[in-house]
Amino acid sequence: MATYVRFFEEIGMGDVAVAGGKNANLGELYRNLSAAGIRVPNGFVLTADAYRYVMDEAKAWEPLHEALDGLDPSDLEDLARRGRRAREIVYGAGMPHPLVDELLAGYHELQRQYGPELRLAVRSSATAEDLPTASFAGQQETFLNVRGDDQLVDACRRCFASLFTDRSIHYRIDQGFDHYSVALSIGVMKLVRSDLASSGVMFSIDTETGFPDVVFITGSYGLGENVVQGTVDPDELYVHKPTYERGHRTVLRRRRGDKAVKLVLVDGETGRTTRNVPTPKADRARFCLTDDEALELAGYAVAIERHYDRPMDMEWAKDGIDGLLYMVQARPETVASQRAATTLERYLLDVPEGGEVTVLVEGRAVGERAASGEVRVIDRLDQLSRFRPGEVLVADTTTPDWEPVMKKAKAIVTNRGGRTCHAAIVARELGIPAVVGTATATQVLHSGAPVTVSCAEGETGRVYAGALPFHVERSELGELARPATEVMVNLGNPDLAFSTSFLPNDGVGLARMEFIVSEHVRAHPLALLHPERVVDPSERAAIAELVAGYPDGGAYFVERLSEGIGTIAAAFYPKPVVVRMSDFKTNEYATLLGGAAFEPVEDNPMLGFRGASRYAHPAYEEGFALECAAMRRVREDMGLDNVVLMLPFVRRVDEAERVLGRMADLGLRRGEHGLKIYAMCEVPSNVVAIDRFAPLFDGLSIGSNDLTQLTLGVDRDSELVAFDYDERDEAVKEMLRLAVEGCARNGIHSGLCGQAPSDLPEIAEYLVELGIDSVSLNPDSVLRVTRHLHEVEQRIGRSPRPDPAGSAV
């Protein structure tokens, strides 16, 4: 008789035809990567030939043809009827006694290895599943907590029958696979007791943008089905692969999920089963993984990706009994890694500045796209037939059974789930936007109402009332000629860093710290250090909630700021990222939580206590120390030594010297560990005394907005005198010339990071003619200005760059 049971140690990637993609991957992991320290629970595969044996012995092929031939998958009622009949046929085929004997012999061997109380995970894997170009993820069934001979035989019969779930039938038709050629194998493996700990999904690529240099980890408490199916809002953590491989062990970025419930084992009348129970409040308030555990998983991901030589989608589980981490699945990532690297696509809402829009719900953005349509709220499976093509599907969560309808949706919105849940995975595969984890979508949104679903604004997805106009910008990058002048980008939002990095660029010329402080830190640094000085009790309570779980408010500030800046630096690594230290005005600082207690009221904050004047001043020196601690963490702990620091609004030379001395005292000494420090050239004194400023810095970056304002004596925030604000004025152009030539004369880098070259082609052209080293632009103008600068350089005969990837910074 043929052998239908093969243990993982006998299975590898060459065995997809008999083991299915999922189980072949498990065997590959167990056989080849266990020696590298990657833990994989042992098990065996009931091969695809066993399925064929079952069908042959029961003479079930002809009835199966009768059930499925001529099926129209768009008729959902007929699909459900025929699918149910097909499953009945396969389950009713039973299992021949010789096959049962071989199956149970494999089970008993695992019991000898793990003990008689062994519990099993029984996982199906089709022979057309988990391929590099088609995932088939979640199409067939998995059974957890299987124990005993009878339960195992029954679970395997149900796995075979799940080859004909409605979703599987529909998916195969869409993908062009023949129902009768595809077979199903079953993986039988030790169940990792993550019901007593945590589990989740991770990718060796960013799932939204396709950015390849991070490991993206999601996790929650309990068994992993909640994360996969979107029942919970999971924790999210990123690890930067290049610096990890250089020996730096730091989480790049994190977001704590709600993790409201966890899937656990319970005793029932018919044996062990699973159910969701509320997650204790203390557990919800912390991450389900420690940093060390997240870094261990990142190491697994790096090794697995290297072994398979492609981006991977993986599932992990922590055993609550032995406390160890295990890999329980690995398969090729099939969406983000398939995108064309030479085509850039951006969805942009066409809402006038100051225009009225209403945000109905927010959640996690999936897909970086936008779409409009009428809402269809679906509460139950039996309502799916109401769905009409082109509607926006709104549900509590989705399961693989919903996929025939999801394929017709303009967009998907769910109450629950994270960016690796079922709804998110299917939305990416279909190329439609999804907003998951909104909490209230099914209550707030109503069937028939027109909405716009936008995932084009960073990590936060939004559902707007009405059909808002939007357009798509598509750019071919493969043939874009690059000028010798370096083209960098201005960026403040870490959520946009990975996607922006795909623009042709030479790094970040201005990374604004203020956005990260206001959106990610949210509180004034001194209020975090001295909450007792905050007068408003509600603000004190909000600060206490922010810093819960941290040693103190300072630790919270340093971690949040460093992870925001670190995300931008990682996105462009190893290209330079110029980080401007905080440049809030006092009125802006005062709007942060607790800020009013620490900021004076000034008549003209634009010319007041801002920039470098704050850094060594007793009123802010503690806050500046936190900023410096965060930058040290980015450069030294995270290993992102491509970060260049820049001081804003430096009025006088002795002020620059004091601040540089203070930075050195705080561990940021210019020249040590390759640290470069720039200054903004935005005060006329910087230009007039450039030969005295230049020796103190490695470069000057012209801030054309403030330099124009101060040269012309025009308040750039005043509409009354806006007609006098013009970067093209001859006085301003002369200041630009003196600054660029002064930098060249002193042998330091010259750049410009203001608005002028983005908006005014003639200013960009003038800067090239002066020989400026770099210009830093808003992302939406990078392609246009890059082409223009190249044309200008060709006209004036400037030599092209010798190395397209090089940088003079």
Look at residues 579, 565, 650 and name the one whose alpha carbon lies nearest to residue 616: 650
Instruction: Write out the two tokens for 255.
Output: 């977001």
- Contact between 474 and 488 under an 8 Å Cβ cutoff? The reply is no
Identity of the residue numbered 139: Q
Catalytic residue among 170, 520, 753, 790: 753
Q: Where are the beta strands (DSSP E) in 163-208?
A: 184-190, 198-203
Distances (CA, A) of 111 to 7, 108, 185, 594: 14, 5, 21, 60
**Phi, psi angle pair for 266, to nearest 5°:** -140, 155
What distance in Å separates the CA atoms of residue 525 and residue 527, rounded to the nearest whole number?
Answer: 5
3-class secondary structure for 56-121? HHCCCHHHHHHHHCCCCCCCHHHHHHHHHHHHHHHHHCCCCHHHHHHHHHHHHHHHHHHCCCCCEE
CA distances from 187 to 48, 106, 138 (A): 11, 11, 14
**CB 488 within 8 Å of CB 782:** no
User: In this structure, are strands 198-203 and 214-221 parallel, antiparallel, or unpaired?
Assistant: antiparallel
Distance, in Å, from the CA atom of 79 to the CA atom of 67, rounded to the nearest integer, reads 10
How far is residue 602's CA from residue 599's CA, in Å, rounded to a whole number? 9
Structure tokens at 603: 């008549």
Whether the CB-CB separation of 485 and 751 falls below 8 Å is answered with no
Of 427, 265, 417, residue with least CA distance to 335: 427
User: Strand pairing of 677-681 and 699-702?
Assistant: parallel
Q: Which of 240, 422, 749, 790 is catalytic?
A: 422
Cβ proximity of 783 and 758 under 8 Å: no
Convert 600-637 into a string of H (helix), E (strand) and C (coil): CCCCCHHHCCCCHHHHCCCCCHHHHHHHHHHHHHHHHH
Beta bridge partners of 330: 314
H-helix segments, 467-620: 497-500, 513-516, 525-529, 537-547, 553-572, 586-589, 612-615
Task: Return the structure tokens found at 88.
Answer: 């009945």
Helix (H, G, I), strand (E, B) or coil at 134: coil
Residue 802 CB neighbour total at 10 angstroms? 7
Distance CA(508)–CA(576), nearest Å, equals 6
- Of 82, 318, 68, the closest CA to residue 198 belongs to 318
Query: Residue-wise over 288-313: b if at least 16 C-beta within 10 A, else e?
Result: bbeeebbbbbbbbbbbbbebbeebbb
User: Is residue 422 annotated as part of the catalytic site, yes or no?
Assistant: yes
Pairing of strands 486-491, 677-681: unpaired
The dihedral through the CA atoms of 109, 115, 119, 125 has a sign that is: negative
At which residue do the structure tokens 């261990």 appear?
A: 296
Six-digit token string for 376: 């269809």
Query: Which residues 6+ apart lie within 8 Å of 734 measured at CB?
Result: none
Kindly tell me the sign of the dihedral angle through the C-alpha atoms of 581, 587, 593, 598.
Answer: positive
CB under 8 Å to 537, separation ≥6 — which residues?
none
How many other β-carbons are positioned within 10 Å of the β-carbon of residue 540?
17
Take residue 484 and report the two structure tokens written for it.
């010798």
Q: Are strands 508-512 and 43-46 parallel, antiparallel or unpaired?
A: unpaired
Enzyme catalytic residues: 422, 753
